[in-house]
Every structure is written in structure tokens, then in C-alpha cells.
Structure 1
Amino acid sequence: MVLLIVFCIALAIILGYITKCNVGIFAIVFAYIIGTFLMDMDPKKILGFWPISIFFVILAVSLFYNFAIVNGTLEKLANHLMYRFVNYPYLLPFVVFISSAIIAALGAGFYTVLAFMAPLTFLLCDKAGLSKIAGAMAINYGALGGANFMTSQSGIIFRTLMENSGVQANAAFLNSGVIFITTIIIPIFVLSFFVLSAFKNKIQLSSIVKPQVFDKKQKITLFLMLLMMFIVLIGPILHVVFPKNILIDYFNKKIDIAMIAIIFVAIALFLKLADEKKVIALIPWNTLIMICGVGMLIGVAIEAKTIDLLSSAVRHDVYIIFIPIILCIVAAFMSFFSSTLGVVTPALFPIVPSIALSSGLNETLLFVCIVVGAQASAISPFSSGGSLILGACPQNYKEKLFKDLLIKAIPLGFIAAILAAIILSFILKGN
């Protein structure tokens, strides 16, 4: 049964890749067939494996941040950030990275940032004579790292998955914070090679038009985004600083990012900051179905003790010192063809607590290594992120960029991820 479930998880990923259909749909089918007919479970119990908390969090947060997308706040913010560095063209990889990270951290999410930053970045690469691979890696790293922020889409998903795996809320917050910091630091070293190359080649940026100022609705939207971020972050941060304060502990327990986001959605609707229909239309249904569908199959896997057996195999068949690196490599391989948010983390996060408990390894280290490994190959042209970047590239550069993503971007990102896993193994030693 364990082998069958593992096979079905892999098969769902393969079928999704081959057919270009949502992996979550295949995962739901396998969850129903295996759970109902092979494990004699009640279909209602299988429906109960649909992760309501993750679904509602993504739905609520996406609804709010979609106002900033529809009314142009995020795009204009990106243009302003780009314009600030027009006199330093050799820093373009860093500028694209920082701009993408800030926009993603403000809640746009990985795919949204790629969608409107990629065309702009490739245009700037043309104007400056910068290689497309440098621009592609800068966007990808920035969108990934920024989205990992504790109040942005990926960060929220990571925290929820950790809590569903038995990790305490405060520990999950700290773990996601370390993930965010790590995925912001690694790209700085990788992108430095492109910055040095651009500096040596003395590239120049021309004909960049100064962006328009924010209008009233955009200013209000930006203020609401920052205010929501403050409200959601202040509780956990104060609780870390003052862990024994009763009032802070009470406040921290009552703050729920999904509910706060819905309140801000109501405020945005009341102020008519954007067209409601357009805001709803931008909800990432594909991501929701993928994450929740895989979540149902993982629920069946947990019921069949698959997760326990897999974690036991890792504990006993792999030397403890190699476990973080193995998880990093496995995550990178999975992410080459599939989604970090929809497949890799829902599949691997549940085994972390038991591995950490039995091996004595720091669970933060294991969570970070999974994400770092997964995001090392997230730029693969066969994954959703890489295909979005490739789709935004001008037609005459597509073939070259496709090859560069495979033979340059992925190996460079993979090497950086393995080195990071080794370094983190020394920094985050034990529980």
C-alpha cells in the first residue's frame, strides 16, 4: 500500500506534466480510488482531507492583494523601483531581484510577479545589453524569495503546512522567517557573478521613462497593504521578544491572517479600490486545486502510515549528516517537473517532525533545505515558474533561453542550494 501511494504521487506529477493538466485533479482521483476501494475508507472522510485552512488562507489573501494588481499599484511600484537605479545599469540583476522580492513580499505571490515583471525585465535586458539568463534568474529568485515572506503567499502556505504537520504556530513562524532570510541571501551571491560581468562589460541603460505618480486609489491600496502586513507580523514578533507576556500572547492567538485579509477585502470593496469582478477573476484557482488536491492524497498517505514509514526509511538508511542534503536533492528533483507549493512541500513537510525527533536534527534546517532545494530548480522550463518566464521572453531568444535555463541556471542554482544546505547544517545543528 505504501509503495502504491508513493507510486501514485509520482504518477500524478508525471500525468500533470505530460497532459499539462492540474496535478491536483489526478491526486484527488488517486486519493478517492486508493482510500475508498483499497483502504475501505468512507468517501466523506476522504473529502475531509481537503485542507480547508490552506484553501481559505490562499483565497482570502489573494482576494485582498488582487486589488493592488487590478488597480495597477504593484506594477507602478515595480516601475518606480526600477527607475531609481537607472544610473547604475550594471546593478540591473540586483535591481530586478530586489524589485521582484519587494512586490512578492507585499503579497503579489510568485506567479503574479513573474507575469508582469518578466516582460519588463526582458525589455530592460535588451536596452542594457544584459544576458536574458541574468534577467530570468533575477526575476525568479526575487519572486521566490519575496513570496516566502511570512505574510505573503508562499510563506503563509509553508506556515500552514508546518502547523498541519504538528509544528507549533510560533515555531512555524520562526521557521518560515529563516526560510525567507535564506532564500534572500542565496541569490545575492549567485547574482553577483552577473553583476560583475555587467560591470566589466560597461553596459548602459537607455530610454527609461519616469513612471507616473501613484493616484489616490493606489496610495490607499499601498497603505492598506503595509497596514495589514504590520498587523499580521506584530503579534508573532512581540511574542518572540516577550514570550511570557499574557496580553501579547492573547493578542497573538487571536490574529488570523485569513480573517484579517477578509476584513481588508471588505474595506477595499467599500472604498471601491478596484472592480470586484476582476479581483475575483484573478483568484489563483489552479494553485488552490493543485495544493488542496495533493493535500488530499497526502492525507490518505498519512492514514496508511506512509509518511511514518518514509521518515523511518530516511532515518535508518541514511547517515544523519547527509539527511539535509538528501532532502535538498529530492526536493530539487521533484521541483524540476512540478510545483514547490503544490507538490514538493505538501509531500515532504509532513515527514520533517518525525525525522527531526529521531535524528536530533534541527527541524528548521530540514524545512529550509527542502525549500532551498525545490527553488533551485523552480526555474526549469518544465516547471510552472520556468515556463512562465520562457513564455514572456521575445520569440527570437526563446530557444537560447530554453537551453540556458537547463545548462546554466539550474546547475548554478543547484550548486548554490547544496552549498547552502552544507553551511546551514553547521549553523543549525540540533534541536
Structure 2
Amino acid sequence: MSLSVIFLICILSAIFLGFFLKVNAGIISTVLAVLLGVLGCGLSVSGVIALWPSKLMMTLVFMTFFFGFAINNGTLHRIIQVATRWGRKCPPLIPIILFAINFIMSMIGVPAYAMFAFTAPIIIPICVDSSISLILAAIIIIGAPIAGGYSSVGQFGIITTNTMLAHGYSMEQAIPIVRTMWINNIIVQVLVFVAFYFILKGYKTKVSESVMHPDPFDKVQKKTAILLMVAFGSMILMSVLKTLIGGDFFITLNKFNDVLFIIPILIIASIILKVGDEKEAFKRIPMGSILLVCGIITLVSVGLKGGILDEITVWAADNVSSGVAPYFLCVAASFMSYFVSTTSGVIPTLGTMVAGIAQSTGLNTCLLYSCISVPAGFTGYSPFSSGGSITLGSIVDDNLSKPLYKTLLWFPLLATVINILCIMLGIMQKGPF
């Protein structure tokens, strides 16, 4: 049995054993990574553990810790309420405002999984009171954070960039790949939102009581909002100064333009300014999800160390034609994402095939990765995947969660058809290579 077959068995086993046994798939992946690395690739246990994506883990820990303050003290809740009130004189704008808020917050780094859990119990009642369809509500809650989350500081962008590096791409190659994935996710998610906005008559939205009378920001929330603006603004400012002014000072300053430097400083500031309880904010760190992502990436890294990329390249050259490849990846990603997370399961698994397919068919690498991430993002609405399950789990009212559950069973299947049409019509953009 070839190494690539053993690797695929290992990674699929980790995902599905984790699902059926209710054990974190990242832990299973780590065990399988050691077995595969030692027995199949000639690595030592220490050599396998060295492949653990420590930078990714630190980034996710610090980001979720920092935004935990804003979630716990109600700052993000208040931002949603206040921004939604802007649409009180023109109710049809309310769904658009909600979509834009979720997109922007995810784009600046609020973890998408936290967005699913946090915004669902806020947005669902607003949508029910305002006569907004639950399908449109699901697109706002899940689709908008997915569209925004592939930015350079977004959760999906960070995870996917590190996955690209694990796949053997350089940072210079990974950045345009992820940027193209972000553009295509925005295009398709916005197209779907706009289509269903008109199909489901979002323009007939009414003004609810919660929109008319939101509570004002208190002192703690004002401090937190300023820290949120500093977090994103400082990263943009350093990049702009380097580009517009240049010079040794700003070039050196831009070297500090990293979330692993900026966010810890803001965490310290949050504690000093007493914007929330440190222990409670720390509880917001989704260690289960982080272990899942890091464990699977470690398993992928072991496989690549063993040379599975060469084997997959040969297989792709013999079995996947240029005309079929985008649709093959689209359907495969949709099927997998119906049950597992896009960034921790689908992209690491199918991403190992992209380089081989691109080399054998001459297809655009950036587009092929988009053919994985975009459809997987939509079937991630499924009640059995991360987006749908977290959203449903955060709604305590059964009268709201039950109809939404039924919707999320079939909506991903419709979305898969929409994604295939987008590929056929050439709506998805190609990157530089």
C-alpha cells in the first residue's frame, strides 16, 4: 500500500473517528502522525512533534483571548445593536447592515466560531421580530463571517496560510492563494446573500423594538471599543507608513506588524484597564478547536515529509483531467464539509492534492484552492458541521432552533449546486498563478 493511501486513510480516520467516538480529532491525528512519521517516514517522535504548528496555535490563543473581553463585557453585542439602529428609518437596510457588521468583525480578527456562537442568539430574535427569514438569518450569521474570515488577520486566513506553509508553499506563494480564496468567498457569499435577500423578500423587513431602543455603551465598553480599533488600526497604519514613506525607521517598525506582537500588548492593556475578568476571557479560548486544527496540520506535515506530494502528483496526472478537476474538488469539499470543519478538515485533506492537479493539468492553483474553500464554506452551514452546529447550539429557544435545523439540512445541498454554477460561469476569480 502506497504512503499516500495510508496518509489519506489516517486523516479520514482521524476526522470520522473523532466524530463517531466524540473524541477530539486533533488528538487522534497527533497519535496517527507519530505512528505514520516513525513507521512510515523514518522520523523520530521528537521530529514529528517539531512539526506541530506552534505559531498558529499561539495566534489563535491570543486572538480568541483578546476578543473574549469584548464578548464577555457586551461590547460586540452593543456594536451590533447600535449599528442595526442605523437602519431604523429604512428597515430594508437592516439585513444588509447585519451582514456587513458580521463581515467586518470577522475580517478584523474576531474568530468566526465565536461569531457563530455569539451573534446567533442576538441576530435570530432581531430577525424574528423584524420578519426576516431564518434562511437569510443563517446566511448573515454563518456566511458573513466566512466571507470576512479569510482576510490576512481573520481566523480562516491565518489557519489557511499556515496550512499552505504545511503543504510546502512559501509565504510569498501562500499570501496570494489565500487572498484569492478571500475574494472568491466574498463574491459568492455576497451573491447568495443578495439573491436570497430578494427571493425571501428581505426588503419587507420591519423595525423591531430591540432595534429602536438599544442600550448605550458604558465606560468599560467604550474602552474595549477603542482597543478593538487600535488592534486593527495599528496593523493598517504600520503597513501604510512603510508603503507611503518608507525609510529604515518605518521598515523596522513594520517588522513588529504581527498579531503575535500587537495582540499580547492589547491583552495586557485590557487587563490593566480592567475591561473584563481575565479568567473569564481566557475561558473563551476554544482549545478543542485549536487542538483539532493543529493536530490535523501536524498529520499533513508528516505526510508531506514522507513524500506524498510526489505520489499524489503522479495519481492526479493519470486520473484527473483539467475539465473535471474543479468540479471534483468542489463536490468532494462539499461532501466533507457537510460533516467536518472546512479549515481543520477539508482544506488540509484536499489541499494536499492541489499542487499535483495544478502541475498535471496546468490549472490555476489559486482557483483550485477556491474550488475547495468556497463550496466547503457553504456546506459548513450543515447541522453536523462547525458553522451550523455552533449556531444551533447557541440558540436556546426550541421554537427557533428546530425550524432552523431543518433549513440547514437542505440549504448546503442547494449551495453546492450554486457553487458548481459559479465555476461553470467563470464567476470565481483566478489568482496570479
Give the structure-2-normalised TM-score: 0.89
Give the Cα separation in 1 of the matches to 2:393 and 2:39.
42
Q: Secondary structure at the match of 2:276?
A: coil
The farther-off stretch of 307-316 and 48-57 is: 307-316
2:141 aligned partner: 139
The residue type equivalent to 1:52 in the other structure is S
The farther-off stretch of 367-376 and 219-228 is: 219-228
Offset at 1:203? 4.4
2:316–2:356: 8 Å Cα contact kept in structure 1? no
2:121 aligned partner: 119
Offset at 1:290? 0.2
Offset at 1:236? 5.7
Give the Cα separation in 2 of the matches to 1:333 and 1:99.
29
1:186 aligned partner: 188
Offset at 1:311? 3.7
1:312–1:355: 8 Å Cα contact kept in structure 2? no
Give the Cα separation in 2 of the matches to 1:190 and 1:45.
45
Q: CA offsets per residue over residues 275-309 of structure 1, 9 Å max, x none?
A: 11112111110111001111221122112222332
The residue type equivalent to 1:286 in the other structure is G
1:226 aligned partner: 229
1:21 aligned partner: 23
2:62 aligned partner: 60
Give the Cα separation in 1 of the matches to 2:213 and 2:229.
24
The residue type equivalent to 1:146 in the other structure is G
Q: CA offsets per residue over residues 48-94 of structure 1, 9 Å max, x none?
A: 12111211111122222222222221111111122222344444443
| Among candidates 293, 298, 302, match of residue 300 of structure 2 | 298
The residue type equivalent to 1:338 in the other structure is V
The residue type equivalent to 2:117 in the other structure is A
1:153 aligned partner: 155
Give the Cα separation in 1 of the matches to 2:241 and 2:354.
27
Offset at 1:191? 2.0
Offset at 1:383? 0.6
| Among candidates 78, 81, 101, match of residue 79 of structure 1 | 81
| Among candidates 368, 377, 381, match of residue 370 of structure 2 | 368
Give the Cα separation in 2 of the matches to 1:308 and 1:37.
19
Q: Secondary structure at the match of 1:274?
A: coil
1:210 aligned partner: 213
Distance change (3 Å), C-alpha of 1:238 and 1:419: farther
Distance change (3 Å), C-alpha of 1:200 and 1:8: closer
Give the Cα separation in 2 of the matches to 1:67 and 1:30.
36
Give the Cα separation in 2 of the matches to 1:243 and 1:316.
51
The residue type equivalent to 1:255 in the other structure is N
Q: Secondary structure at the match of 2:348?
A: helix
Give the Cα separation in 2 of the matches to 1:362 and 1:242.
32
Q: CA offsets per residue over residues 182-202 of structure 1, 9 Å max, x none?
A: 222222221223322454884
The farther-off stretch of 420-429 and 250-259 is: 420-429
1:286 aligned partner: 288
1:308–1:351: 8 Å Cα contact kept in structure 2? no
| Among candidates 17, 35, 38, match of residue 36 of structure 1 | 38
Q: Which runs of 5+ in 1 are unaligned?
A: none
2:408 aligned partner: 405
Q: CA offsets per residue over residues 352-405 of structure 1, 9 Å max, x none?
A: 345445543332222222211210200011112111222344313444332322
1:9 aligned partner: 11
Q: Which runs of 5+ in 2 are unaligned?
A: none
Give the Cα separation in 2 of the matches to 1:200 and 1:11.
42
1:326 aligned partner: 328
1:338 aligned partner: 340
The farther-off stretch of 200-209 and 293-302 is: 200-209
Give the structure-1-normalised TM-score: 0.89
Q: Secondary structure at the match of 1:107?
A: coil
Give the Cα separation in 1 of the matches to 2:124 and 2:316.
42
Give the Cα separation in 2 of the matches to 1:157 and 1:34.
23
The residue type equivalent to 1:215 in the other structure is D
